Amino acid sequence: MITFSTVYVVIAAFIALLFYTFRVLREYERGVVFLLGRFWKVKGPGLIIIIPGIQKMVRVDLRTIVMDVPSQDVISRDNVSVKVNAVLYFRVIDPEKAIIQVENFDVATSQLAQTTLRSVLGQHELDEMLASREQLNADIQTILDAQTDAWGIKVSNVEIKHVDIDESMIRAIAKQAEAERERRAKVIHAEGELQASSKLLEAAQVLAQQPQALQLRYLQTLIDIAGEKSSTIVFPLPMDLMASLQAVLEKAATK
């Protein structure tokens, strides 16, 4: 005799069978189906029929995953200890490889990103870490993309977020920057002196060709001095006048 409890059990089992038989995959999802433990095919998106007990499906998300790479202790090529963290962008392009070739592709990619970050940055000096981030990002992305290709994963981008430096090293960098600014200022000053001396030489050559121009320059200098309202005025004497006076004195001394 069939009782109501038996009917309820049958209905519940039928509903559970339907639940495990019919699956719905979204547009960004794929199902890796195994038949008796062997890979069968990749299904989706849409309505998927799975035979309970015989087939098993593993969902795979195809959207881009944004992963923070934890802060890593890195020793640069010039023996400076820094802490560097980054962000990683990757997605699954081959669901079959992502499930079969690696146990957990999220964890595997994260661990690989950490070791690659330390390895690549350790080959560069601190100045390169601070000034050439785009190139370092590209180098890390290329290495990760090549190594995760066997897992069916595409690393689209890597961005270094922070390079934390010790306080003592920050002071040393500030001193180095100050010394560099002083060096540039001295170089610019020396270049200015060189250019000024070259122009003065050209002016002296022009004045030497026309003595009248030298007299006009003396008069212009007197006008400039008078305009400054100074109580002391220095009159420049022509060098040829001084030479003539010296010649007269030498003749007088010989007599």
In order along its 255 residues, the chain shows pLDDT tens digits of 556 677 676 677 667 666 678 888 999 999 999 999 899 999 989 988 888 889 999 999 999 999 999 999 888 888 888 899 999 999 999 999 999 999 999 999 999 999 999 999 989 888 888 888 899 999 999 999 999 999 999 999 999 988 888 776 667 667 777 787 888 888 888 888 888 888 777 776 776 676 666 666 666 666 666 666 665 656 555 555 556 656 666 766 666
What gap in Å lies between CA 143 and CA 112, rounded to an integer? 10
Quote the pLDDT of residue 85.
Answer: 92
Asked if residue 99 and residue 36 are part of one domain, the reply reads no
Asked if residue 98 and residue 56 are part of one domain, the reply reads no
Asked if residue 136 and residue 74 are part of one domain, the reply reads yes
Of 134, 153, 170, the residue that ends a domain is 170
Asked if residue 90 and residue 160 are part of one domain, the reply reads yes
Quote the pLDDT of residue 226.
Answer: 65
Quote the pLDDT of residue 233.
Answer: 59
- Expressed as residue numbers, the domain containing 105 is 65-170
Asked if residue 110 and residue 51 are part of one domain, the reply reads no
- In-domain check, residue 53: yes
- In-domain check, residue 244: no
Q: Are 91 and 154 in contact (CB under 8 A)?
A: yes
Quote the pLDDT of residue 244.
Answer: 61
Of 10, 29, 119, 25, whose CA–CA distance to 72 is shortest?
119
Asked if residue 124 and residue 78 are part of one domain, the reply reads yes
What gap in Å lies between CA 34 and CA 99, rounded to an integer? 11
- In-domain check, residue 18: yes
- In-domain check, residue 94: yes
Asked if residue 73 and residue 155 are part of one domain, the reply reads yes
User: Which of helix, strand or coil describes residue 8?
Assistant: helix
Quote the pLDDT of residue 217.
Answer: 66
- In-domain check, residue 21: yes
Asked if residue 133 and residue 84 are part of one domain, the reply reads yes
Quote the pLDDT of residue 87.
Answer: 95
- In-domain check, residue 2: no
Quote the pLDDT of residue 130.
Answer: 83
Quote the pLDDT of residue 65.
Answer: 94
What gap in Å lies between CA 154 and CA 65, rounded to an integer? 10
Asked if residue 101 and residue 71 are part of one domain, the reply reads yes
Asked if residue 81 and residue 43 are part of one domain, the reply reads no
Please calculate the CA angle 239-240-245 and round it to the nearest 5 degrees: 100
Entry pTM: 0.65
Beta strands in the chain (DSSP E): 22-25, 29-35, 38-43, 46-49, 55-61, 65-75, 81-92, 153-165
* β-strand pairing of 46-49 with 65-75: unpaired
Asked if residue 55 and residue 130 are part of one domain, the reply reads no
Number of domains in the chain: 2
Of 120, 152, 170, the residue that ends a domain is 170
The CATH number linked to 118 is 3.30.479.30
Of 48, 155, 34, 54, whose CA–CA distance to 96 is shortest?
34
Asked if residue 158 and residue 83 are part of one domain, the reply reads yes
